[in-house]
Chains A and B, each alone.
Chain A
Amino acid sequence: MIHSLFLINCSGDIFLEKHWKSVVSQSVCDYFFEAQEKAADVENVPPVISTPHHYLISIYRDKLFFVSVIQTEVPPLFVIEFLHRVADTFQDYFGECSEAAIKDNVVIVYELLEEMLDNGFPLATESNILKELIKPPTILRSVVNSITGSSNVGDTLPTGQLSNIPWRRAGVKYTNNEAYFDVVEEIDAIIDKSGSTVFAEIQGVIDACIKLSGMPDLSLSFMNPRLLDDVSFHPCVRFKRWESERVLSFIPPDGNFRLISYRVSSQNLVAIPVYVKHSISFKENSSCGRFDITIGPKQNMGKTVEGITVTVHMPKVVLNMNLTPTQGSYTFDPVTKVMTWDVGKITPQKLPSLKGLVNLQSGAPRPEENPSLNIQFKIQQLAISGLKVNRLDMYGEKYKPFKGVKYITKAGKFQVRT
């Protein structure tokens, strides 16, 4: 199982190490640095590296590498999932998962790591159990602690730890009982030069924020559950009920959690809310090129498309770009060659466009590759798949909760090839 963990920042410093079995020397990370050097880009470091005596399984999150050391045959996904869970927990506790935040809270980090894994076996990874064992730092608490001398380590066994519903603690109490659901859908798509869809699918999630007293038992039903044929559930969802009635029935964890994630596959038609007209050309034997893109609404179901940003990774020979946007503003970073155009929202009367000249390094050959456009956008109050929540019922408790559902559609990995 997981032997040791090293946290490494982008400049290659090991700033934290934790060993769950015997101590493994830091020098094992040299193999990782070697692989990192080989991969030109930090994102291209292979996640599984073998060394003469160990395996290194790593993830790259928020500019940090989490490198775990493995000595026996274990499922790598197990390790990777766990590492992501560690990063999530840091995020949850400290508001960000960064070197500064981890160093600022190093003792809590150490306590957390010790609580999350025992002898390489995961122990408590549910944030709500961890929070009962080790209280997250707040300014108020540290002030109170230093006055009263109490600590931020809980001294009773978390109630959820052993029950059949480990995700919920007993005795939750709220004055305002509320249950909110966010249906968030992301469109992953590849659009080809001519504007037709090469590949498109919808990755959806329903995130819940539940603040209900006691042990509520909820049922969430949909107008069109048939859309959901590929789903992953939070462990609280009763799978049998879903199989037979297509109703999500569950006792929710307290607070924020992801209820389900789903995929509406490419077999179904996926509506593409925007189109892009583009012409990017580089002249032969000349040190300039033309750049011209226009964005317009397509199938947006009558809603406004907003928060549009276009990112283009220009070829290496591009020195500078001289563009005029009809709307929004653009930046070009001559080092990374990334052009970002912050468009805002589309008004169908006047379509936003960005035109101008591209300066190339003189003498360099004409770039062969045409850059892909990466597009971000948001549509409020719409789930592009058409998914609609029908009703939410609560059993087991007497009070009347306040309920709400919000829909939002976003671009995921939305790429337009040129």
Chain B
Amino acid sequence: MTDSKYFTTTKKGEIFELKAELNSDKKEKKKEAVKKVIASMTVGKDVSALFPDVVNCMQTDNLELKKLVYLYLMNYAKSQPDMAIMAVNTFVKDCEDPNPLIRALAVRTMGCIRVDKITEYLCEPLRKCLKDEDPYVRKTAAVCVAKLHDINAQLVEDQGFLDTLKDLISDSNPMVVANAVAALSEIAESHPSSNLLDLNPQSINKLLTALNECTEWGQIFILDCLADYAPKDDREAQSICERVTPRLSHANSAVVLSAVKVLMKFMEMLSKDLDYYSTLLKKLAPPLVTLLSAEPELQYVALRNINLIVQKRPEILKHEMKVFFVKYNDPIYVKLEKLDIMIRLASQANIAQVLAELKEYATEVDVDFVRKAVRAIGRCAIKVESAERCVSTLLDLIQTKVSYVVQEAVVVIKDIFRKYPNKYESVIATLCENLDSLDEPEARAAMTWIVGEYAERIDNADELLEGFLEGFHDESTQVQLQLLTAIVKLFLKKPTETQGLVQQVLSLATQDSDNPDLRDRGYIYWRLLSTDPVAAKEVVLAEKPLISEETDLIEPTLLDELICYIGTLASVYHKPPSAFVEGGRGVVLKSLPPRTASSESTESPETTPAGVPTGEQPDAIPAQGDLLGDLLNLDLGPPASGPPLPASSVQMAAVDLLGGGLDSLMGDEPEGIGGPNFAAPPAAAAPANVGAAMGSGLSDLFDLTSGVGTLSGSYVAPKAVWLPAMKAKGLEISGTFTRQVGSISMDLQLTNKALQVMTDFAIQFNRNSFGLAPAAPLQIHAPLSPNQTVEISLPLSTVGSVMKMEPLNNLQVAVKNNIDVFYFSTLYPLHILFVEDGKMDRQMFLATWKDIPSENEAQFQIRDCPLSADAASGRLQSSNIFTVARRNVEGQDMLYQSLKLTNGIWVLAELRVQPGNPSFTLSLKCRAPEVSRHVYQAYETILKN
């Protein structure tokens, strides 16, 4: 007696047979037939032809049959809308049934039928069910509102269902509350601005009460909703945390992770001196570890999130290293995540343990994993300030002679040399022994670099390099470039015996190669060597800056944003939702709450992850911020090894030597010199021309003329007529926008051109892109008599509701007086939204610039602007566009500028000013590229007026 029999009738007249059975008089036969239909439906067979016959079975008091018919209806109503109408009557009748189960079932099914005509009939029953005496019906109805909204949003708003839904948040039954929250959250997602979940301390209290009593799924909805609330001070944050903490012991991992999100977010507001703060930190570790004993799929999501948490607050899991040790039968995706977290947690205290593990992994079967493990050893060496152990582990691994292990080891040893020069050269001999086994370009390039760099200590360096040179044309570009540099280094170190070799490589590179990068570099060396060998030595053998730290940390602002998305897809992809959610629908920028200072005075921002070098460290440039490309050593493959930065005097020499012929190389296009793996932004495009500005290193590079005084306020456009008198029964409105000392206002001039007195003025804005709203009512005290003009300044706030407008800066305004209501729309200049604290830290600027993908970059020309760079910078600054850094390149002034909009969007700009040329080039980078055009317009307005 199983259901598999329903699948067996695959004869020709199947549909026909079913039809007959469906119309049978026998109840039993009918039911069997419907079951057959459903079975066919589950495997994707089309049984829609039976629609009328199945619907005929609907009027029955057998609940099972009814449910089956409903299942069928939901699937096929869309394709047979006219027939579906036939079912409406039964639905409406069922909504009145004395049995709550049937009432709920009916309203639930009706919501699933995505046919417009039916939804109209749904409204009345739904309204009743939302107020039903039975909570089971109410909670089902709550979800139904979300369904209906998905089908016809306007209808839901018109019918006032949203308000009823909001009322349900205060329902006495926790299940109803949870479902109402879930429905509202889903609706809010498609209306990011609508402020549907208007949370206040009272409603929060209700949610927290419901949290304890509702089902696990309800708890997730409530916790996710709580996470979006902004407590007013640390006390409120603490009390919410206290009531959320018990959720950490829930058996459902999704509940646990949502609770972790709330805590991680609100913790930001708590003072670190508080006892409660450290208690909370302690409480967070065990549940996170417990997640790792669950099924592998859960582990994976948990690990991706732990990766974020470890970067934000390494202290939580610093003693839990062992739980991240890899088991040989973990799925590969779990293994790789665990490995990554192990490196992040590695420290002086546990390095021995970690290395022993990594060494173990390097002997596993999976090649990818083994490679990652070897790389991990290198990353540990660079992160933890005692590399001896790492180096000796790597040497042990090289002894295994396993080809891919050796190759990976060579690549990471090169990085270790960059970090700790002149310390571990004793291993070079071992490396040289394994030269023959290297067949991957990256490893060969690394090895060549090592040989060139330490040519003076390797007796047979020339032989080794000569060996490489034999198959020069078969090598990949990476290796060719490296070989060229290495041989030039060798020549400069041992000029006498290697003259032939260098001749050979230079001619190979310049004459026999089709690769422009290679040719150009060959010519540079050639010219350098032939013009001034001393200078060449200084350039090529210049001391390289140390590389330091991890390169793959998530940028702090992005990390903070991601912390707000713990437990969601964003946390799995480590990207903000705006980067991947379809159509940008429902994306609200979330940010961590600021630490409130109610009990605490000032506190140093401690968000920097442990171990990131501070800016004062003179001898090490963080590899992350190392945007300066070096002309001579660009080919060091992996991003971990930041290109070296020659000292300034050398740089000068280089400039002289290169003369004008090569200028085009270093001009506008970074790819011209960059080669395949050079992806620095324009900020680093032309390092060789920096010249004297290089002075004492990187920091001076960015020294700027910050002496420009802040002027009183930003640029104000002259008033324009917004509403002509003809269109507004005699009322003429002209106006402009201003921004002064942090406040935005709309300056209006109202003229009465009618023959009657005007009174009772009021103003209202439609929802707009930046939430502009009047901060005070329009105050015109005296009535406006004919031909009278009144000037008024209306203060604006940016806390109004947000809706994306087209164009972005469109503002729709309604003005009312005793005569009528008038509507007009105007475009506001974007610069009124530039806030005063829009100056970005330099390091951050570099990192952010690098981080924003290049497709977000937009370039504009500002023509006919006769200003000098200084004047432009000053003028822009008074409109809150701040110059972060400034450089002079080939006589052009490059201004690097940042600005922040009232809604927290950062815009980074590079403004190129050429003396004597009235055209400026403006490149803008922003995470929300749609603002770029308007920022450009703002630039143009400010600069031209």
Contact A415:B328 (CB < 8 A) given known A73-B569, A162-B173: yes
- Complex Cα distance, B65 from A379, in Å, reads 51
Which of B78, B174, B573, B577 sits near A50, CB closer than 8 Å? B573
The interface residues of chain B lying within 8 Å CB-to-CB of A106 are 3-4, 6-7, 38-39, 42
Query: In the complex, are the beta carbons of B365 and A155 less than 8 A apart?
Result: no
Which of A105, A232, A240 sits near B250, CB closer than 8 Å? A232
The interface residues of chain A lying within 8 Å CB-to-CB of B296 are 43, 47
The interface residues of chain A lying within 8 Å CB-to-CB of B136 are 157, 161-162
Query: In the complex, are the beta carbons of A235 and B216 less than 8 A apart?
Result: yes
Which of A74, A153, A198, A266 sits near B569, CB closer than 8 Å? A74
Instruction: Render A342-378 as a binary contact track against B, CB cut-off 8 A, 1 for contact.
Output: 0000000000000000000000000011101010000
The interface residues of chain A lying within 8 Å CB-to-CB of B166 are none
The interface residues of chain A lying within 8 Å CB-to-CB of B65 are 151
Residues of chain A from 239 to 285 with CB closer than 8 A to chain B in the complex: 239-240, 243, 258, 261, 263, 265-267
Q: Does A291 contact B (CB under 8 A)?
A: no
Instruction: Render A5-49 as a binary contact track against B, CB cut-off 8 A, 1 for contact.
Output: 000000000111111111100100000000000010101101110
Q: Does A401 contact B (CB under 8 A)?
A: no
The interface residues of chain A lying within 8 Å CB-to-CB of B213 are 164
Which of A16, A41, A80, A232 sits near B290, CB closer than 8 Å? A232
Q: Does B202 contact A (CB under 8 A)?
A: no
| 9-residue interface stretch from A51-59, A174-182, A214-222 | A51-59
Query: In the complex, are the beta carbons of A413 and B573 less than 8 A apart?
Result: no
Which of A76, A100, A263 sits near B301, CB closer than 8 Å? A76
| 9-residue interface stretch from A116-124, A325-333, A381-389 | A116-124
The interface residues of chain A lying within 8 Å CB-to-CB of B302 are 77
The interface residues of chain B lying within 8 Å CB-to-CB of A139 are 1
Query: In the complex, are the beta carbons of A156 and B101 less than 8 A apart?
Result: yes
Query: In the complex, are the beta carbons of B189 and A122 less than 8 A apart?
Result: no
Q: Does B416 contact A (CB under 8 A)?
A: no
Which of B62, B75, B582 sits near A53, CB closer than 8 Å? B582
- Min CB gap A162→B, angstroms: 5
Contact A199:B325 (CB < 8 A) given known A118-B143, A121-B143, A162-B135: yes
| 9-residue interface stretch from A141-149, A301-309, A390-398 | A141-149
- Complex Cα distance, B186 from A119, in Å, reads 11
Q: Does B64 contact A (CB under 8 A)?
A: yes
- Min CB gap B409→A, angstroms: 14
- Complex Cα distance, B64 from A17, in Å, reads 20
Which of B27, B38, B297 sits near A58, CB closer than 8 Å? B297
Query: In the complex, are the beta carbons of B331 and A44 less than 8 A apart?
Result: yes
Query: In the complex, are the beta carbons of A369 and B108 less than 8 A apart?
Result: no
Instruction: Render B244-273 as a binary contact track against A, CB cut-off 8 A, 1 for contact.
Output: 001001111110111000000000000000
- Complex Cα distance, B60 from A155, in Å, reads 13
Contact A231:B179 (CB < 8 A) given known A73-B577, A81-B298: no
Query: In the complex, are the beta carbons of B254 and A125 less than 8 A apart?
Result: no
Q: Does A340 contact B (CB under 8 A)?
A: no
Q: Does B28 contact A (CB under 8 A)?
A: yes
Query: In the complex, are the beta carbons of B43 and A16 less than 8 A apart?
Result: yes
Query: In the complex, are the beta carbons of A266 and B147 less than 8 A apart?
Result: no
The interface residues of chain A lying within 8 Å CB-to-CB of B586 are 72-73
The interface residues of chain B lying within 8 Å CB-to-CB of A92 are none
Tally of A interface residues using CB under 8 Å: 105
Contact A162:B175 (CB < 8 A) given known A106-B42, A232-B250: yes
Query: In the complex, are the beta carbons of B323 and A201 less than 8 A apart?
Result: yes
- Complex Cα distance, B582 from A72, in Å, reads 8
Contact A47:B300 (CB < 8 A) given known A230-B286, A233-B250: yes
The bracket for how many chain B residues form the interface is 35 or more
Query: In the complex, are the beta carbons of A155 and B99 less than 8 A apart?
Result: yes
Q: Does A203 contact B (CB under 8 A)?
A: yes
The interface residues of chain A lying within 8 Å CB-to-CB of B287 are 230, 232
Residues of chain A from 132 to 175 with CB closer than 8 A to chain B in the complex: 139, 142-143, 146, 149, 151-157, 161-162, 164, 166
Which of A109, A235, A415 sits near B327, CB closer than 8 Å? A415
Instruction: Render A87-125 as a binary contact track against B, CB cut-off 8 A, 1 for contact.
Output: 000000000000010011111111100100011011001
The interface residues of chain B lying within 8 Å CB-to-CB of A84 are 295
B contacts with A: majority SS: helix
Query: In the complex, are the beta carbons of B62 and A118 less than 8 A apart?
Result: no
Query: In the complex, are the beta carbons of B301 and A47 less than 8 A apart?
Result: yes
Query: In the complex, are the beta carbons of A80 and B301 less than 8 A apart?
Result: yes
Query: In the complex, are the beta carbons of A372 and B328 less than 8 A apart?
Result: yes
Query: In the complex, are the beta carbons of A315 and B365 less than 8 A apart?
Result: yes
Query: In the complex, are the beta carbons of A235 and B250 less than 8 A apart?
Result: yes
Q: Does B332 contact A (CB under 8 A)?
A: yes
The interface residues of chain A lying within 8 Å CB-to-CB of B581 are 72-73
Query: In the complex, are the beta carbons of B569 and A18 less than 8 A apart?
Result: no
Query: In the complex, are the beta carbons of B67 and A114 less than 8 A apart?
Result: yes
Query: In the complex, are the beta carbons of A121 and B217 less than 8 A apart?
Result: yes
- Complex Cα distance, B108 from A299, in Å, reads 59
- Complex Cα distance, B243 from A240, in Å, reads 11
Q: Does A402 contact B (CB under 8 A)?
A: no
The interface residues of chain B lying within 8 Å CB-to-CB of A43 are 296, 331
| 9-residue interface stretch from B356-364, B480-488, B763-771, B897-905 | B356-364
The interface residues of chain B lying within 8 Å CB-to-CB of A73 are 189, 568-570, 577, 581, 586
- Complex Cα distance, B403 from A368, in Å, reads 11
- Complex Cα distance, B224 from A46, in Å, reads 25
Q: Does A212 contact B (CB under 8 A)?
A: no
Instruction: Render B129-152 as a binary contact track against A, CB cut-off 8 A, 1 for contact.
Output: 000001110001001101100100
Closest to A22 in B: B114
Q: Does B239 contact A (CB under 8 A)?
A: no
Q: Does B371 contact A (CB under 8 A)?
A: no
Instruction: Render B32-43 as a binary contact track against A, CB cut-off 8 A, 1 for contact.
Output: 000100110011
Query: In the complex, are the beta carbons of A110 and B42 less than 8 A apart?
Result: yes
- Complex Cα distance, B356 from A314, in Å, reads 23
- Complex Cα distance, B224 from A73, in Å, reads 12
Query: In the complex, are the beta carbons of B301 and A48 less than 8 A apart?
Result: yes
Q: Does B279 contact A (CB under 8 A)?
A: no
Which of B39, B75, B256, B327 sits near A23, CB closer than 8 Å? B75
Instruction: Render B565-602 as a binary contact track against A, CB cut-off 8 A, 1 for contact.
Output: 00111101100010011100010000000000000000
Which of A80, A232, A369 sits near B365, CB closer than 8 Å? A369
Query: In the complex, are the beta carbons of A233 and B3 less than 8 A apart?
Result: no
- Complex Cα distance, B360 from A12, in Å, reads 35
Query: In the complex, are the beta carbons of A104 and B328 less than 8 A apart?
Result: no
Query: In the complex, are the beta carbons of B331 and A155 less than 8 A apart?
Result: no
- Min CB gap B130→A, angstroms: 15
The interface residues of chain B lying within 8 Å CB-to-CB of A14 are 43-44
Q: Does B2 contact A (CB under 8 A)?
A: yes
Q: Does B153 contact A (CB under 8 A)?
A: no
Query: In the complex, are the beta carbons of B35 and A107 less than 8 A apart?
Result: yes
Query: In the complex, are the beta carbons of B63 and A151 less than 8 A apart?
Result: yes
- Complex Cα distance, B841 from A224, in Å, reads 55
Q: Does A130 contact B (CB under 8 A)?
A: no
The interface residues of chain B lying within 8 Å CB-to-CB of A157 are 99-101, 134, 136
- Complex Cα distance, B220 from A39, in Å, reads 32
Report A's interface with B, CB cutoff 8 A.
Answer: 1, 14-23, 26, 39, 41, 43-44, 46-48, 50, 53, 55, 58-60, 70-78, 80-82, 84, 100, 103-111, 114, 118-119, 121-122, 125-126, 139, 142-143, 146, 149, 151-157, 161-162, 164, 166, 188, 190, 192, 198-199, 201, 203, 229-235, 239-240, 243, 258, 261, 263, 265-267, 313, 315-316, 368-370, 372, 374, 413, 415, 417
27 intermolecular pairs with C-beta atoms under 8 Å apart: A14-B44, A21-B112, A23-B78, A47-B297, A47-B300, A47-B301, A50-B580, A75-B220, A75-B257, A77-B301, A78-B220, A100-B4, A106-B38, A111-B64, A111-B71, A119-B146, A153-B63, A162-B173, A192-B356, A199-B322, A232-B250, A232-B251, A233-B250, A263-B289, A368-B400, A369-B365, A413-B327
List 5 extra interface pairs beyond A73-B189, A84-B295, A190-B327, CB under 8 A. A19-B75, A48-B569, A60-B297, A139-B1, A157-B99
Q: Which are the 5 A-B pairs with shortest beta-carbon distances? A: A151-B64, A104-B2, A230-B286, A153-B64, A47-B297
